[in-house]
Amino acid sequence: MSKWNPIAVSLIALLALAAPRPVQAFTVSTAITSGCHEAIALAALDSAGPPWGLPAPPLGEQERRVLADLPLDAPISDPWTLAFLIGIRNPDLHGLGDTDLVELAAVHGDPETQSDHCLRGPMDEGIAGDLMSLLACRATLRDEVVRALGKSEPPNPYEVEQVDVTLVVRGKLRFPLSRFAFRLGRAMHTLQDSYSHTQRIGEGVGAVDNMVDVLHGGYDPAQDGPPHRSAGDRCDGDESHSKVESARQASAELLRAVGDASGGMQGRLQRLDALLDRKLQYVPGCTPENSWCGAALSGCSLTGARGADSGREAWLLALALLALALRRRVRAALLSALFVLWLLLPAQARAETSGRLSLNTGLSGSMSRGAASLDLGLRVRLSQRWAVSLSLEYNPWISLTKPYFSAGAFNIYAGADLMWVDFKGLILRSGLQLGSSTLLQNLVAADMGSTGIFLGLSVLGFTLPLRRGVLLNVDPAWLVFAVPQLRSIPLLYEQYRIGLGLSFAL
For 4-37, the pLDDT digits (tens) are 444 444 444 444 444 443 333 333 333 334 568 8
Assess if residue 149 is contained within a domain.
yes
Assess if residue 495 is contained within a domain.
yes
| 16 & 82 share domain | no
Any idea how long the chain is? 506
Helices 238-259 and 35-48, axial angle in degrees (round to 10): 50
Please report the DSSP string for 103-165 in residue order.
HHHHHHT-GGGGGGGT---TT--HHHHHHHHHHHHHHHHHHHHHHHH-SSSS--TT-EEEEEE
> Are 119 and 107 a contacting pair, CB within 8 Å?
no
From 84-93, 120-129, 299-308, the region with the lowest mean pLDDT: 299-308
**Final residue of a domain: which of 288, 317, 346?**
317
3-state secondary structure of 452: strand
Assess if residue 30 is contained within a domain.
no
Assess if residue 26 is contained within a domain.
no
* Domains in the chain, number: 2
Question: CA dist 370 to 155, 276, 316, 395, Å?
Answer: 41, 43, 12, 10
Assess if residue 500 is contained within a domain.
yes
Torsion sign across C-alpha atoms 41, 47, 51, 56: positive
Assess if residue 181 is contained within a domain.
yes
Q: What is the pLDDT of residues 304-354, one digit of tens each?
A: 333 344 444 444 445 444 544 444 454 455 555 555 555 555 554 444 444
> Are 214 and 230 a contacting pair, CB within 8 Å?
no
| 466 & 385 share domain | yes
pLDDT of residue 350: 46
| 193 & 309 share domain | yes
Q: What is the pLDDT of residues 427-480, one digit of tens each?
A: 899 999 999 999 999 999 899 999 999 999 999 999 999 888 899 999 999 999
Residue type at 427 in one-letter notation? I
| 151 & 225 share domain | yes
Question: CA dist 168 to 119, 377, 458, Å?
Answer: 29, 29, 25
| 95 & 57 share domain | yes
3-state helix, strand, coil in the chain (%, to 5): 40, 30, 30
The phi and psi torsions of 403 (rounded to 5 degrees) equal -70, 80
Name the pLDDT band for 236 (thresholds 50, 70, 90). Answer: low
| 275 & 356 share domain | no
Assess if residue 248 is contained within a domain.
yes
**Final residue of a domain: which of 283, 317, 351?**
317
**DSSP classification of residue 446:** B
pLDDT of 279 over the 70 cut: yes
Q: Please state, in angstroms and rounded to a whole number, the distance separating the CA atoms of residues 93 and 106.
A: 11
| 282 & 356 share domain | no
| 311 & 346 share domain | no
The per-residue b/e assignment along 25-50, b for 16 or more CB within 10 angstroms, e otherwise, is ebebebbbbbbbbbbbbbbbbeebeb
| 54 & 169 share domain | yes
**Final residue of a domain: which of 280, 295, 317?**
317
From 51-65, 181-195, 238-252, 296-310, the region with the lowest mean pLDDT: 296-310
| 77 & 153 share domain | yes
pTM of the full structure: 0.76
Assess if residue 56 is contained within a domain.
yes
The phi and psi torsions of 257 (rounded to 5 degrees) equal -60, -40
> Are 44 and 83 a contacting pair, CB within 8 Å?
no
> Are 464 and 380 a contacting pair, CB within 8 Å?
no
| 388 & 301 share domain | no
Residues of the domain holding 353: 6-21+326-505
Nearest CA to 186 out of 123, 264, 94 is that of: 94
Q: Please state, in angstroms and rounded to a whole number, the distance separating the CA atoms of residues 27 and 100.
A: 11
| 278 & 355 share domain | no
pLDDT of residue 237: 54
Q: What is the CATH number of the domain that holds 442?
A: 2.40.160.20
The per-residue b/e assignment along 344-354, b for 16 or more CB within 10 angstroms, e otherwise, is ebeeebbebbb
